[in-house]
Amino acid sequence: MQVLTFLLKRFGWMIITVWIVFTVSFFLMRQIPGGPLNGERVLSEAVRARLEARYNLDAPISEQYFTHLWNTVRLDFGPSFKLQDYTVNEILAQGFPVSAALGILGMVFAITIGMTSGVVSAVRRNSAYDYSFMMMATLGIAIPNFVLAAMLIVIFVFNLQMFPAAGWGDLNQIILPAFCLGAPFAGYIARLTRTGMLEVLGNDYIRTAYAKGLSPRTVVMKHGLRGALLPVVSYLGPAIAGILTGSLVLERIFVIPGMGSHFIEAAIQRDYTLAMGALLTYTVLLFGMNTLVDLAYSIIDPRVKLE
């Protein structure tokens, strides 16, 4: 019940957020002088009129706004401005699974590597493991993923020829980009886990757990890990936003036909229906993920009340 009200409330806020994003970007788009049809080619009056009718650009701006809004509510983003044979929905449906696969793989990689090394570092504090893991974590955080990607391409693709340079579809083709995508987040998660774990291990209830005669393993995994997870979980929200940003860049470097590539293309080409569609999809995605994170937080920490 509590969860349901929480989800309903969140849904309400999501509608508001999406509406704000929609409105701001709609008017930004319409502010572009000349409009999106002023390409390199000069269009004849007739063609122009036809195109304007097709994109509903001949109506007054308020009418355009409400028509577009209504279409968006029905999840119809309309035809693409530049890729004229496709609708935005088709392009997104094609790109989304690709980006999602890349993002999920990167995130899974980041969480497993990050948490494991974080826990080991905290438990074996000041050991060689600790120092080398934390050094690697800081390196992972510091090196922007496109620099990492460029270096790895030079090493693994061209010199060692272990992976193909670019493209999509093969498992071989996903490993490098997913690694580059996940690396900075693995670093953050490792450090958050370590700090969180150290803080938790200093708590009185950990001493209680030892005083009960539990083994160090049980104390760390059962009594420690939950508390140490909290900072990691609250970091996942920003991390997901970061994964979206990161995949923009990596899709470009590795020539992966995901949403990010489409969005950049759309922005450069002024393909506003496509850009709008991608933007709204990203907003909903981010909002949904943040909600999931809050939900997870309240499950892990029973003291937290959902609002």
Partner 1 sequence: MSHSTEPILQIQNLQVEFHTDSGVVRAVNGVSFDLYPGETLGIVGESGSGKSVTNLSLMGLIPQPPGKIAGGKVLYNGQNLLELNQRQWQQVRGKKIAMIFQDPMTALNPFLTVEEQLIEVTMLHMQLNRAQATEHAIEILRKVGIPGAEKRIRDYPHQFSGGMRQRVMIAMAISCQPDILIADEPTTALDVTIQAQILELMKSMQEEFGTAIIFITHDLGVVASICDRVMVMYAGRKVEQSTTREIFRQPRHPYTVGLLNSAPRWDQGEDDLQAIDGQPPDLLNLPLGCSFNPRCQFVQDSCLQDTPPLVALEGETPHQHACLQDITQTEEDHSS
Partner 2 sequence: MPIPNQPPSELERLAAILQEAHDVHGVSLWADAWKRLKRNKAAMISLWSLLTIVLLAILTPLLPLQSPIYQDVKNRELLPPQWEGFSLGIKQYDEETARLIAEADLQVAGNAKHKELMTEVEAREQKHPINLYWNDPNFLTKPLISLRLLLFGDFCIPSIFGTDKLGRDVLSRVFWGSRISLACGFIATLVSLMIGVSYGAISGYMGGWVDNLMMRLVDVFYSIPFIFIVIFIMSFLSSPDVREVLQEYHIGQIHVFFLLIGAIYWLTMARVVRGQVISLKNEQFVEAAKTIGATRMQIVFRHLVPNVMGIVIVYLTLTIPAVIRFEAFLSFLGMGVEAPNISWGLLVNEGVQVITIIKTYWWMIAFSGMALATTLFALNFLGDGVRDALDPKLKNK
Buried-exposed string 287-299: b where 16+ CB fall within 10 A, e elsewhere: bebbbebbeebbe
Q: Which two tokens stand for residue 103?
A: 């993002």
Smallest distance, Å, CB 148 to partner 1?
Answer: 36
Distances 290 to 7, 153, 235, 296 between C-alpha atoms, Å? 12, 33, 10, 10
Single out the segment in contact with partner 2 by CB under 8 A; choices: 88-96, 210-218, 221-229, 276-284. 276-284
Q: Which two tokens stand for residue 185?
A: 């987040």
Q: Which two tokens stand for residue 183?
A: 């690396």
Which residues are near partner 1 by CB under 8 A?
203-205, 207-216, 218, 222-223, 226-227, 300-303
Contact 190, 122 (CB under 8 A): no
Smallest distance, Å, CB 234 to partner 1?
Answer: 15
User: Hunting for tokens 């793989």 — which residue is that?
Assistant: 105
- Please, which of residues 23-42 interact with partner 2 by CB under 8 A? 24-25, 28, 31-34
Q: Which does 275 bind (CB under 5 to 8 A by kind): partner 2, partner 1, none?
A: partner 2
244 in contact with partner 2 (CB under 8 A): yes
Single residue of 109, 179, 185, 287 touching partner 2 by CB under 8 A: 287
Contact 188, 212 (CB under 8 A): no
158 in contact with partner 2 (CB under 8 A): yes
> Under 8 Å CB-to-CB from 289, ≥6 apart: which residues?
236, 237, 240
Smallest distance, Å, CB 221 to partner 1?
Answer: 12
The answer to whether the Cα torsion of 190, 139, 254, 160 is positive or negative is negative
- Please, which of residues 81-110 interact with partner 2 by CB under 8 A? none
Residue 109 or 287 with smaller CB distance to partner 2 = 287
SS3 84: coil
Smallest distance, Å, CB 115 to partner 2?
Answer: 19
264 in contact with partner 2 (CB under 8 A): yes
Q: Which does 72 bind (CB under 5 to 8 A by kind): partner 2, partner 1, none?
A: none
Q: Which does 212 bind (CB under 5 to 8 A by kind): partner 2, partner 1, none?
A: partner 1
